[in-house]
Amino acid sequence: MVREPLPVRPSPRPVSGKRDAKHVRRVWEPYQILILTWQGGVRRLCWLPGRVTYARNLLLGSSGTFLPVKGFFSMATVSYRKATRIYPGTQKPAVDALDLEIQDGEFLVLVGPSGCGKSTSLRMLAGLEDVDQGGIYIDDRDVTNLPPKARDIAMVFQNYALYPHMTVYENMAFALKLRKTPKHEIDVRVKKAAQMLQLEDYLGRKPKALSGGQRQRVAMGRAIVREPQVFLMDEPLSNLDAKLRVQTRSQIAGLQKELGITTVYVTHDQIEAMTMGHRVAVMLDGVLQQVASPRELYDRPQNVFVAGFIGSPAMNIKKVQLNQDGAVFASLVLPLTREQLAAARAEGGDNQVIVGFRPEDCDLVSASEGGLPIEVELVEDLGAEANVYGHAAVNGSNERFVVRTDRRHMPDMGETVYIKPRVGQHHAFNAATEQRI
Amino acid sequence: MTTVEEPTAAPDPAQPATSSGKVRKAFSSPLASIFMIVVTVLWTIPTIGLLVTSVRPAGDVALTGWWTVFTHPSFTLENYHKVLFESSFGSSGGMLPYLVNSLAIAIPATIFPLALASMAAYALAWVRFKGSDTIFFAIFALQIVPLQMALIPLLQLFNGGAHIGSVTIIPAPNLGGTYVPVWLAHTMFAMPLAIFLLHNFIAQLPRDVMEAAQVDGASHFKIFRTIVLPLAAPALASFAIFQFLWTWNDLLVALTFVGGTADVAPLTVRLSQMAGSFGRSWEVVTAGAFISIVVPLIVFFSLQRYFVRGLLAGSVKG
C-alpha cells in the first residue's frame, strides 16, 4: 500500500522571469489539502486493526486468506541477475555474479562442496544476506533490498530453528498470526499441514520432546502453512540418519510436486541433488559451474569439476597426451573426433587432453583385448555390484582408477585386471580451460 | 538443536568427561562437604545472633550477650510489636509505611532497567547498525565509574537542573518529595551491568531461530517480544532478583535522593535512624532488620532456581 506524499503548497517561485509550461507547478487549494489529509488519515486508521492487510491479501492473494490454487496464486519465478556477495573484510566474492533463472513450480537444487557459496546464494534470496552487486527478482519484482518479511518466502533451516518455547502448533501458526490471518483459518491450515506430515498427534508438544525426524517435519510444516511464493531449504536432511534421509527425500519431492511451489534446495549431497531436483545447479568457489537436469549433468558435464563432482564413485579423470586418433592411455587409445582434437589443441591445450570415464562405463576384458592393466587394491562389495579400486602406470605416473563390475566378475585383491572404457562413453575436456570439448 | 541447553552432569561419575563434571566430583568428596558445612555455620552465626537478639527483652540485650539465651532463656515479641505498630516510638509511626515505600521504590527500580536493558541488549546483539560494538563497549566501560562519584552531580541535576553559565539546559525538574529521583538513579546505575549481562545471554540465542522469525515475517519488535523475551526469561529473572535485592537493601542512593523526606524514605533509611546516634535500643533495630529481610527472602526463594542457572547462563558459555 503506497501512501502518497502529503502535498504541500509550493513556496512562491523566485522571480526569475522564466515561465515555461513545464515549470508551472500546481498550486493546491487549502480545501484540497484538507481532503487529501483526511484521506491519508482514514488510511492510517485502517492500518491499525490489520483490516487492510486482510483486504490486501484478499486482493493480491499473497498467502493471505485463500488456499493457493495451483499455478494461479503461487506463481513465482526467481531470477538471480549477476547477484554478488562479498563478505566485509574479504576480497574474493562468496558468490560471484550468479545468473540463474528458476521457473515457476520448479524444484532447483544448489549443490557443491562446502564453502562454494550455495548457502550464501540461498540466504541472499531469503534476504538474510546482503546483495553487494546485481539483483534478485521474484516474479520480476526487485526484492534485492527488501527485508525477509516482505519477500513472501518460507525457509527450512539445517537445524530446523524451531521456536523452542512454543508448541508444534504455535510454531506452525506463528507466521500466520503475524499476518493477522483469522484464527479459524490458521486452525484449518495448521491441521491440514499436520495431517500431510503425520504430525497430528504432536501438535501440543514442544520441540524438545520430538525426535529429529519429527522436528524436521515441523520445520517443513511451518513452511507449508505459509503457502509462500518460494520455498527455501538449506540442507534440511543433513541432521537425519541415513535411512530417514532417504525416506524424507522422497517425501519432500512428493510434497513439492503436490503443492507446485517454486523451491530452491541447498545440499552438499549429490545424490540428494540428482534424485530431487528438476534441475541442478553446481557451484564452486562462488561461481555457477553448470545448471541442467540431473540426466544432462550426468551425461554431459560442462567441465572437469562437474564431471568429478557428480556421480559416485567419482569419474576417472586423467590428463593424458594426444595423438592423431585420440587420448593415449598407455596401451589404450580413447578415440576422439576431429573436432574434439582441434578443440583440445586450442586455447593453450597444447598436446594434452583431460579425459574421463565413469566407473560403470567400462568393462573388464582379457589381456589380449588391449585393455588398461590395473592392479587391484580394494574391492568394495555392495551386494548387487562391486567397486574395484586399483592403480595403473599411465605415462610414467601411477594413477588410481575405479571400475564398477557386477558381482559375478569380482576380482581379488592384488590381481591384475584389464579395463576398457566403452566406446563413445568417455568425456573429453580441454587441458587448459577444463571445459568440455 | 534449537533448544538452549543446560550443562548436564557427566553420565559416569567415575570418569567425568567434562570439566564441570570434575568440579562436581571434587565438591562431592566428604572432606569438601565438611568444610562447606563449617563455612556455612560460621557465616550464619551473625544472622542467628540477630534473630535471637530481636526476640530478647530490651533489658537483657543491654546487659548480656545473645548467646546467654541458651542458658537463661527469656523471649518476647515486644520488639516486633514496637517497630511495627507503635507510633510513639522514634520520630514517627511504625515501620509499615516505610515497608510500602521500599516496595514503591524497589519494584519500579527493578522493572525500568529490566525493560530498557533487555531492549538495548537485543538491539546491540541482533540489530546490525554502525557502531553497535562501540556503543556496547562504551556502556560496559561505564561500569568502571563508581556510582558514588555520580551522586552529587546527579543530585544537583535533580534539584537545580543543568546550567552552563546563565544558560539553562535542563530546567529544575522539581522532583523533591517523590520517588522519581530514586527510580531514575537506580535505573541509571543498573543499566551498564544489566545491558552487559542480558547482551551476553541474548547474543547466545541461536541465530537460526532469529532468522526463522525474520523469514516468518516478524519485525524486530515482534522478535523481541515473542522470541527473545521468553527465551531470555532465566537471565531476566536472575537480573530481576539481583536488582531487586540491591534496591531493597540500598541506603546510600535512597538517603541521597529522598533522605530528608519521611513520606518517601524506604525501610533502610528508617532502620538507620532507629538505632539513634548513640546506639540506644538496638534490640529494636534487630527486629526491624528481620522484618526488612522477609521480602527479599520471598523473592529469592521463589526465583532462586533462576538465580543460579540464569546468571551462569548469562555470563559463562555452557
Asked if B223 and B231 count as a contact pair (C-beta separation under 8 A), the reply is no
Q: Kindly report the CATH number assigned to the domain that includes residue A387.
A: 2.40.50.140
Q: Give residue B277's pLDDT.
A: 58
Q: Give residue A37's pLDDT.
A: 56
Asked whether residue B50 falls in the same domain as residue B198, the answer is no
The answer to whether B2 contacts A164, with C-beta atoms less than 8 Å apart, is yes
What gap in Å lies between CA B201 and CA A401, rounded to an integer?
53
| Number of separate domains in chain B | 2
Asked whether residue B65 falls in the same domain as residue B206, the answer is no
Asked whether residue A214 falls in the same domain as residue A239, the answer is yes
Asked whether residue A258 falls in the same domain as residue A401, the answer is no
For residue A24, tell me if it sits in a domain: no
Contact list, A147 vs chain B (CB under 8 Å): 214
Beta bridge partners of A267: A111
**Between the ranges A136-140, A350-354, B54-58, B79-83, where is the mean pLDDT highest?**
A136-140
| Longest Cα separation, chain B | 75
Asked if A416 and A340 count as a contact pair (C-beta separation under 8 A), the reply is no
Q: Which of A264, A299, A334 is the last residue of a domain?
A: A299
For residue B2, tell me if it sits in a domain: no
What gap in Å lies between CA B122 and CA B101, rounded to an integer?
32
Q: Give residue B65's pLDDT.
A: 84
Quick: pLDDT tens for B7-28: 444 444 445 456 667 777 777 7
Of B2, B4, B230, the CB nearest to A161: B2
Quickly list H helices, A227-351: 242-259, 270-276, 294-299, 304-309, 338-345
Give the cell for residue A368: 589380449
Which residue of chain A comes nearest to B209, CA vs CA? A161
Q: Where are the beta strands (DSSP E) in chain B?
A: 162-164, 167-170
Q: Which helix (H) or strand (E) holds A281?
A: strand A279-284
Asked whether residue A118 falls in the same domain as residue A47, the answer is no
What gap in Å lies between CA A70 and CA A57, rounded to an integer?
17
Q: Is A68 on the interface with B (CB under 8 A)?
A: no
Asked whether residue A409 falls in the same domain as residue A279, the answer is no
Tell me which DSSP letter residue A278 carries: S
Q: Is A167 on the interface with B (CB under 8 A)?
A: no
The answer to whether A178 contacts B3, with C-beta atoms less than 8 Å apart, is no
For residue A307, tell me if it sits in a domain: no
For residue A96, tell me if it sits in a domain: yes
Asked whether residue A334 falls in the same domain as residue A232, the answer is no
Mean pLDDT calculated for residue range B158-165: 81
For residue A145, tell me if it sits in a domain: yes
Asked whether residue B105 falls in the same domain as residue B236, the answer is yes
Q: For chain A, percent helix, then strand, then coil, each to nearest 5?
A: 35, 30, 40
For residue B9, tell me if it sits in a domain: no
Asked whether residue A230 falls in the same domain as residue A126, the answer is yes
The answer to whether B211 contacts A128, with C-beta atoms less than 8 Å apart, is yes
Sheet order of strands, A153-156 included: A153-156, A230-234, A262-267, A107-111, A279-284, A287-292
Asked whether residue B191 falls in the same domain as residue B243, the answer is yes
Asked whether residue B101 falls in the same domain as residue B49, the answer is no
What gap in Å lies between CA A225 and CA A154, rounded to an integer?
9
Asked whether residue A345 falls in the same domain as residue A420, the answer is yes
What gap in Å lies between CA A233 and CA A217, rounded to an integer?
12
Q: How far is CA A33 from CA A22, A23, A25, in A?
A: 22, 21, 15
Contact list, B4 vs chain A (CB under 8 Å): 164
The answer to whether A127 contacts B2, with C-beta atoms less than 8 Å apart, is no
Quick: pLDDT tens for B173-189: 777 778 898 999 999 99
Using CA of residue A418, residue A423, residue A427, residue A432, what is the dihedral sign?
Answer: positive
Q: Give residue A185's pLDDT.
A: 93
Q: Is A298 on the interface with B (CB under 8 A)?
A: no
Asked whether residue A96 falls in the same domain as residue A40, the answer is no
Mutate to test the interface with A, among B215, B220, B222, B229 (most CBs of A within 10 A): B215
Quickly list H helices, B55-92: 58-63, 78-85
Asked whether residue B37 falls in the same domain as residue B120, the answer is no
For residue B106, tell me if it sits in a domain: yes
For residue B51, tell me if it sits in a domain: yes
The answer to whether A164 contacts B217, with C-beta atoms less than 8 Å apart, is no
Range of the domain at B52: 15-76
Helix (H, G, I), strand (E, B) or coil at A189: helix
Asked whether residue A86 falls in the same domain as residue A182, the answer is yes
Q: Give residue B246's pLDDT.
A: 92
Asked whether residue B296 falls in the same domain as residue B246, the answer is yes
Tell me which amino acid residue A175 is.
Answer: A
Asked whether residue B38 falls in the same domain as residue B145, the answer is no
Asked whether residue A149 falls in the same domain as residue A45, the answer is no
CB within 8 Å of chain B, chain A residues 117-146 = 126-128
Q: Give residue A28's pLDDT.
A: 58
The answer to whether A207 contacts B2, with C-beta atoms less than 8 Å apart, is yes
Q: Which of A299, A322, A339 is the last residue of a domain?
A: A299
Q: Give residue B283's pLDDT.
A: 77
Contact list, A154 vs chain B (CB under 8 Å): 215-216
Q: Is A189 on the interface with B (CB under 8 A)?
A: no
What gap in Å lies between CA B236 and CA B306, rounded to an integer?
9
pLDDT greater at residue B263 or residue A224: A224
Q: Which helix (H) or strand (E) holds B196?
A: helix B180-203
Asked whether residue B274 falls in the same domain as residue B196, the answer is yes
Q: Is A354 on the interface with B (CB under 8 A)?
A: no
Asked whether residue B164 falls in the same domain as residue B305, the answer is yes
For residue B264, tell me if it sits in a domain: yes
Burial string for B179-213 (b: 16+ CB within 10 Å, else e) reads bbbbbbbbbbbbbbbbbbbbbbbbebbbebbbbbb
For residue A12, tell me if it sits in a domain: no
Asked whether residue B303 falls in the same domain as residue B209, the answer is yes
Q: Give residue B276's pLDDT.
A: 65
Positions of chain A with pLDDT lower than 50, given as ranges:
1-2, 4, 7-24, 42-55, 58, 61-73
For residue A48, tell me if it sits in a domain: yes
Q: How far is CA B289 from CA A367, B100, B122, B146, B209, in A?
A: 102, 15, 38, 27, 47
Q: Among the listed ranges A217-231, B236-250, B256-270, which one has the minimum average pLDDT value?
A: B256-270
| Number of separate domains in chain A | 3
Pairs across A and B, CB distance < 8 A: 74
CA distance B140 to chain A (A): 26
Torsion of CA A363, A364, A366, A370, to 10 degrees: 50
For residue B4, tell me if it sits in a domain: no
Contact list, A164 vs chain B (CB under 8 Å): 2-4, 209, 231
Mean pLDDT calculated for residue range B148-173: 83
In this prediction, what percent of chain B has a pLDDT beyond 70?
A: 84
For residue A236, tell me if it sits in a domain: yes
For residue B7, tell me if it sits in a domain: no
Asked whether residue A149 falls in the same domain as residue A176, the answer is yes
The answer to whether B2 contacts A165, with C-beta atoms less than 8 Å apart, is no
Contact list, A175 vs chain B (CB under 8 Å): 216-217
The answer to whether A161 contacts B218, with C-beta atoms less than 8 Å apart, is no
Contact list, A56 vs chain B (CB under 8 Å): none
Q: Give residue A35's pLDDT.
A: 61
Q: Give residue A393's pLDDT.
A: 81
Sheet order of strands, A372-381 included: A362-365, A416-421, A372-381, A385-394, A397-406
Mutate to test the interface with A, among B216, B221, B227 (most CBs of A within 10 A): B216
Of B208, B217, B231, the CB nearest to A178: B217
What gap in Å lies between CA A272 and CA B62, rounded to an integer?
86
Beta bridge partners of A328: A321, A333
Asked whether residue A133 falls in the same domain as residue A216, the answer is yes
Q: How far is CA B102 from CA A234, B87, B107, B258, in A?
A: 54, 19, 8, 12
Q: Give residue A189's pLDDT.
A: 93
Note if the pTM is more than 0.80.
no
What gap in Å lies between CA A236 and CA A249, rounded to an integer?
10
Q: Give residue A138's pLDDT.
A: 92
Contact list, A178 vs chain B (CB under 8 Å): 216-218, 222
For residue A97, tell me if it sits in a domain: yes
Asked whether residue B99 falls in the same domain as residue B140, the answer is yes
ipTM > 0.90? Answer: no
Q: Give residue A327's pLDDT.
A: 86
Quick: pLDDT tens for A128-144: 999 999 999 998 889 99
Range of the domain at A118: 78-299
Q: How far is CA A254 from CA A249, A250, B119, in A?
A: 9, 6, 43
pLDDT greater at residue B21 or residue B70: B70
| Longest Cα separation, chain A | 103
Mean pLDDT, chain B, whole residue set: 81
